[in-house]
Amino acid sequence: MKDEKRITRRDFIRTAAVTGGALAVSCLIPTVKGEGISSFLKEELFAKKRKTATVYMSKHITPQDLIRLYEVLDRPVSGKVGVKISTGEPGGHNYLKPELIGDLVHKVNGTIIECNTAYGGERSTTESHLKAAKDHGFTAIADVDIMDAEGEIRLPVKGGKHLTEDIVGRHYANYDFTLVLSHFKGHAMGGFGGAVKNISIGIASANGKRLIHSAGTSTTSWGNPLQDDFLESMAEAAKAVADYCGDNILYINVMNNLSVDCDCDSDPEEPQMGDIGILASLDPVALDQACVDMVYNSPDEGRSHLIERIESRHGIHMLEHGEAIGLGTRKYDLIDLEN
């Protein structure tokens, strides 16, 4: 063949362009005599494929679309299912409403799972937390389990800088599968909250929450850690939960009511940008990264309010550290179910 030439690994030229967090790779692959694509090129391509997660999206925020996104992940729940949500602080309104999530919770025969808070709000005791869940309509659609009502258990953290263990509610051991259903929005301390926060701070007991907030130094005080150390601790606690669950976990983020404040705020600021949609993935880092990118790429002029909150808290570092310790990848392919 006239144009045929030998190539080495160093001759393999790749160009990559990142658009909205998703990695697109184009390869210039010369023909190798008698082989087509050589084995090392196949290895490079397959490795790249393995490091890219899939995120699915619907622009519609309805009970039917929640179920559709659950089904497209093709990871059916099994056994006793915990549906991890935030029940929302009394006085606030910035949480996922029972009328939105109820059909999905019923479909998976799930129990809503939560843990008590580590601050002086109205969900710091099991009794007050269950009352908040009832007042917000969650006990009408499912059983609600405050998982640290009877103590806590410890999950090992592999490869952490700050945490060697994550302290979670004792009842978490009773569940075979976790459906992580998160309201993506801003957060006063973390910059934003999504899937990673929901399985770190959210599944941690009150003592575990203090351990994360203090970057591994205390279960009695939030301490005064560096911001990046706190963010890294959230990623490390999330990895403990993900490792514990293995394949028995999936993640859905709802991007509505995009306030700069969290569901844990009893008086959150009103959103300054419009709703975006529902996103779902088997990778929590990719899912949260896609949501962050959706905010940045939104044509809505009000996005600057939420972007300022994310950047002022260096929120993206939680995902950077999550990727570094193997919780997931920030590279993703986004599949819009409407296209």
Mean pLDDT per 10-residue interval, the chain, length 339 residues = 32 29 33 38 44 96 98 97 94 90 98 92 91 96 98 97 98 98 95 97 96 97 96 98 98 96 77 96 98 98 96 98 98 95
pLDDT at position 94, please? 84
pLDDT at position 50, please? 54
pLDDT at position 74, please? 97
pLDDT at position 20, please? 39
Question: What is the assigned CATH class of domain 54-336?
Answer: alpha beta
Nearest-angstrom CA–CA distance, 257 and 303: 12
Amino acid found at 100: L
Asked if 168 and 204 count as a contact pair (C-beta separation under 8 A), the reply is yes
Q: At which residue do the structure tokens 């494929």 appear?
A: 49
Pairing of strands 332-336, 277-281: unpaired
Pairing of strands 53-58, 332-336: parallel
pLDDT at position 47, please? 39
What SS3 string covers the chain?
A: CCCCCCCCHHHCEEEEEEECCEEEEEEECCCECCCECCHHHHHHHHHHHHCCEEEEEECCCCHHHHHHHHHHCCCCCCCCEEEECCCCCCCCCCCCCHHHHHHHHHHCCEEEEECCCCCCCCCCCHHHHHHHHHHCCCCCCCCEEECCCCCEEEEECCCCCCCCEEEEEHHHHHCCEEEEEEECEEECCCEEECHHHHHHCCCECHHHHHHHHCCCCCCCCCCCCCHHHHHHHHHHHHHHHHHHHCCCEEEEEEECCCCCCCCCCCCCCCCCCCCCEEEEECCHHHHHHHHHHHHHHCCCCCHHHHHHHHHHCCCHHHHHHHHHCCCCCCCEEEEECCC
Nearest-angstrom CA–CA distance, 184 and 52: 22
pTM: 0.85
For the chain, give every domain's residue range. Answer: 9-47, 54-336
pLDDT at position 51, please? 84
Nearest-angstrom CA–CA distance, 23 and 14: 12
Residue 237 burial by Cβ neighbours in a 10 Å radius (0-12, 13-18, 19+): buried
